[in-house]
Amino acid sequence: METGNRDTGVRAPVDKDVDFANYFCTYAFLYHQKEMLSDRVRMDAYFNAVFKNPHHFRNKVVLDVGTGSGILAIWCAQAGARRVYAVEATKMSEHARELIKANNVDDIIEVIEGSMEDVALPEKVDVIISEWMGYFLLRESMFDSVICARDRWLKPDGVMYPSHARMWIGPIRSGLSEQKLIDLESAMSDWHYFVDETERQYGVNMSVLTKPFHEENEKYYLKTSLWSNLHPNQVIGAPAIIKEIDCLTATIDEIREVIAKFSLRINLDRTRLSGFAGWFDVHFRGSDQNPAATQVELNTAPSEDNPTHWGQQMFLLHPPIRVNDGDDVSISFSMSRSKQNHRLMDVEFTYELHQPSGKRHPPITSKFYIE
């Protein structure tokens, strides 16, 4: 036995220990913490959000959900918080404790190792800060823990950092659409050679597995969304907001499934629609009762100068579609949690091209997996 490490989608049903093994443990590595701490867009947004809004932090009680290395908790303490509870599920909590001590804020910050759902705080909090966003915002489903924290521990007039989040989808062009088709063809041609050889050398006819092999590889090459940092000129039309979340009021029911109908206007002539890209932004605006002095945005849209470690998720069409300036693509979109692993997502696009001439193309449905 022994196999390689092609990443897989098949997982056991939700189970706390399995979830820990699959999900949390990567966050126990400083290598990964460094990757996130080196994302300037992410760091600048949280840094500015905290230090440009000192009235939200001075003498306040703060909860940091998933503190990791502890950086957000340290900033809150430096901004004048009276008390900060920094909750972390992984052993990274030990490094957070060291870092907090070395930065002389260990009298302010209490690190609590445990999952947010199990933790008890001695008091309610004025602010919940958390960097919970996954690929295309909701992958990882970590916002569930933030909602749980908010419902249990936030004071009625408390504020959320960030306060709002939005999901975006834009039409894109990319050579990867053709490339992935070629990769699939090449995998299938290898397979056919393998079937012939296995029959010839070892007397076993494998051809009954050709269809499932094709399905497995089609899922891998064509139906799995891809991480990318797109160049803005790969976006060939105006993107649309498909979901807005008010972090102060959102419920798990509101985010468990995302359904949207919208239209994308192509604004480039004689190009091809290779697929769609999904990204998000979040805002730090405080609350209506207690607004931010300075609003801050964290944006993960395609950008030449300010890429993020989140990049964008690409959902590629095979084959791409020829489009022109002025064409409209009307889309029914849905995203729900994978049955195998609640932190992964199943996505469906039904799209229909409308040309200014009035010509319509029949709707096409494509399914994708965010893994």
Which residue in this structure is represented by tokens 């996130």?
36
- Minimum separation from the CB atom of position 132 to a second copy (A): 6
HSE on the CB side for 15, CA within 13 Å? 8
Pick the closer one to a second copy by CB: 190 or 254: 190
What's the CA gap between 50 and 56, in Å, rounded?
Answer: 8
Pick the closer one to a second copy by CB: 66 or 320: 66
CA 21 to mean position of chain CA atoms: 19
- Minimum separation from the CB atom of position 311 to a second copy (A): 9
Tokens coding 254: 């509101």
What's the CA gap between 105 and 96, in Å, rounded?
Answer: 11
Cα distance between the two ends of the chain: 25
- Minimum separation from the CB atom of position 17 to a second copy (A): 5
Pick the closer one to a second copy by CB: 17 or 253: 17
83-88 and 125-130 beta bridge pairing:
unpaired
DSSP string, 87-100: EESSTHHHHHHHHH
- Minimum separation from the CB atom of position 289 to a second copy (A): 29
Pick the closer one to a second copy by CB: 30 or 293: 30
Residues 6+ positions from 171 with CB-CB distance below 8 Å: 235, 236, 237, 239, 264, 266, 273, 275, 276, 323, 329
Give me the active site residues, please: 131, 140
- Minimum separation from the CB atom of position 191 to a second copy (A): 7
What's the CA gap between 2 and 356, in Å, rounded?
Answer: 56
